[in-house]
Chains A and B, each alone.
Chain A
Amino acid sequence: MAGYAIRRLLAALPVAFCVAILVFGLLYLAPGDPAAIMAGDAASPADIEKLQATLGLDRPFVSRFAAWLMAIAHGDLGTSLFTGLPVATLIGQRLVPTGCLMLAAMTIAVCIGVPLGAGAAHKPGATADRIVMAGGVLGFSLPVFVVGYLLSYVFAYRLGWFAVQGFVSPRVSVPGFLRTILLPATSLALGQSALIARVTRAAMLDVLGQDYIRTARAKGLGELHVIAVHGLRNAAGPIVTVAGSSIAALLGGAVVTETVFSLPGLGRLTVDAVLRRDYPVIQGITLVCALIFVIVNLATDMICAALDPRVRR
């Protein structure tokens, strides 16, 4: 297991390096001269040139890339052009709401998707299966903001059960947290739950045809026990993998959900940075999200290996 973990970690490093090159390349291509922007309108060309030299902007691509990587290794993601604050600080302030949103959405997506998918696979071709499959297409066709506005209009604005906008940290008040997080998390989770239901169904169809399932039934185990313990346990690999990779869609969807529900998270920060063309902030967020994705994928691989020793090879 330890050997497998080290191999996976080493395999993730070149990916992380490629992400760094891509993100830096985009920063490099960004229009406008950061030195000119930082120096302000009153600066003379000589001042700007001096600032360029101090910032190292006159050096070649490779040397700037190395300096940028070193800075990141020290936790320095650059400075926001708009607020003048360090990007790492700005991102740090927004991690809690987005983290809560991700966790809540993932939980909801798994809790909806896995039972529905397993239920559909139990009797393939039956009415329940058809409804789940058709509902699945609908689920990932509905745009996140459409679901978000719909839920918000009905359950927050009309019925008043939930907060229309804002965020309350779970450390401040748990009921307040649930009132603010449940609607955005549900709207974000819907599309992913459809995907998880599909993968669960496909994986379960494979597993339920196996001999050990017949054995389990033959020795008189209850159907629920067969499905949940013998079935799901063996179908868990693909389900965990799709749940892990859906973190990319969730992080992307957060940009929209946080805008619809005015949640002060990374997504909202992204939108504000886009409107202000605050490149360092956008690059910082992209880099952080990509690293989160790489780490989550690594964790997914570990869970799969723990569940199924054959994966470790």
Chain B
Amino acid sequence: MIAGIRKPAAPMLTAGLALLILIAIIAIAAPVLSGGRDPALVLPHERALAPGLAHPFGTDLLGRDLLARTLYGTRISLAVGLGVAFAATIAGTAIGMIAGYARILDGVLMRGIDGLMAIPPVLLAVTLMTVMRGSLVNVIAAIALAELPRVARLVRASVQAVRANLYVQAAIVAGARTPAILLRHILPNIAAVIVVQATFIGASAILLEAVLSFIGAGIPPTTPSWGNIMAEGRSLWQVKPHILVFPAIFLSLTVLGVNLVGDGLRNRLDPRGKAS
């Protein structure tokens, strides 16, 4: 085998966790950190101001304070990231476990999953969002449906690998019922893989929400989200780049933080980086 395989990259995991904790604090303390500025307050005579003392991040085209909007936007991104990671992982795990364990249902379930997977996630989420009303819950549901196939496939493959093991065969012979086998004998053995995948799903969901809001198919503009702040600044981005810069930095750092955590966790589980 190859000598000198890289040691688990713990510094990346630590850096990622530190970033995420910082971002979570910003989300919780947004009202305090923005100095009591109202993210929805329109100041018609202070439109598109560059960053300054009164407005540290400047104001947008309607004269709303960008510091407050960007900090409050953290809440939307974290809610979407967590919400989608949970919803897509739970639904995807359920489908994947059934497909991986019950051979009769495998064909039907996986063709459906393949069909979902064939539609690019951005387009699937966009299509769903044009049919549904633009609200936080609907955005989470649409993105979760778009992300679900990846979880289902991974879980199915993992279940198929684990079910051949002797301890599963032993449980079957001992007369354990199917739900018990799935939940007590199989799930704990594939949980680590699922957790890593859930982290990457969270990162991808935060990006997807920003894309949806950026093109006008996501969170309505009355609620500040990084995507719709950037959408606001789109028309004047060359002359007023400050409107785009701050949400862009926050978005990039948040996604980076989540990906670093996911990567660090994966390196612990699979130091050779094979399962990429």
Chain A positions within 8 Å of B, measured between CB atoms, are 14-19, 21-23, 26, 29-31, 123-125, 129-130, 133-134, 137-138, 140-146, 149, 153, 157, 164, 195, 198-199, 201-202, 205-206, 208-209, 248-249, 251-253, 255-256, 259, 270-271, 273-275, 277, 279, 282-283, 285-286, 289-290, 293-294, 297
Chain B positions within 8 Å of A, measured between CB atoms, are 1-2, 4-7, 9, 12, 111-112, 114-124, 126-131, 203, 207, 210-211, 214-217, 230, 234, 237-238, 241, 244, 248, 251-252, 255-256, 259-260, 263, 272-274, 276
Q: Is the CB of A198 within 8 A of B273?
A: yes
> How many Å from the CB of A261 to the closest CB on chain B?
12
Closest to A297 in B: B118
Q: Which 7 A-B pairs have the closest CB atoms?
A: A18-B115, A252-B122, A141-B256, A252-B120, A125-B6, A248-B120, A290-B118
- Given A31-B131, A125-B5, A202-B273; A256-B111 close (CB under 8 Å): no
Q: How far is the CA of A92 from the CA of B33 in the complex (A)?
A: 50
A-B contact count (CB 8 A): 168
Q: List 5 A-B contacts (CB under 8 A).
A: A149-B244, A248-B120, A252-B123, A255-B122, A271-B215
Q: Is the CB of A19 within 8 A of B215?
A: no
Q: How far is the CA of A125 from the CA of B272 in the complex (A)?
A: 10
Q: Is the CB of A290 within 8 A of B5?
A: no
Q: Which residues of A contact B114 (CB under 8 A)?
A: 14-15, 18
Q: Is the CB of A253 within 8 A of B122?
A: yes
Q: Is the CB of B120 within 8 A of A293?
A: yes
Out of A29, A255, A293, name the residue touching B131 (CB < 8 Å): A29
Q: Is the CB of A282 within 8 A of B127?
A: yes
Closest to A142 in B: B252
Q: Which residues of B contact A275 (CB under 8 A)?
A: 216
> How many Å from the CB of A149 to the closest CB on chain B?
6
Q: Which residues of B contact A26 (CB under 8 A)?
A: 127-128, 131
Q: Is the CB of B119 within 8 A of A290?
A: yes
Q: Is the CB of A125 within 8 A of B4?
A: yes
> How many Å from the CB of A118 to the closest CB on chain B?
14
Closest to B119 in A: A290
> How many Å from the CB of B119 to the closest CB on chain A?
5
Q: How far is the CA of A208 from the CA of B252 in the complex (A)?
A: 35
Closest to A20 in B: B115
Closest to A285 in B: B123
Q: How far is the CA of A123 from the CA of B2 in the complex (A)?
A: 9
Closest to A157 in B: B238
Out of A19, A133, A141, name the residue touching B252 (CB < 8 Å): A141
Q: Is the CB of B122 within 8 A of A201?
A: no
Out of B1, B118, B130, name the residue touching A293 (CB < 8 Å): B118
Q: Is the CB of B210 within 8 A of A255?
A: no
Q: Is the CB of A251 within 8 A of B120?
A: yes
- Given A124-B4, A141-B259, A256-B211; A19-B119 close (CB under 8 Å): yes
Q: How far is the CA of A273 from the CA of B122 in the complex (A)?
A: 14
Q: Which residues of A contact B210 (CB under 8 A)?
A: 143, 145
Q: Is the CB of A255 within 8 A of B248?
A: no
Q: Is the CB of B276 within 8 A of A198?
A: yes
Q: Is the CB of A149 within 8 A of B120?
A: no
> How many Å from the CB of B268 to the closest CB on chain A?
15
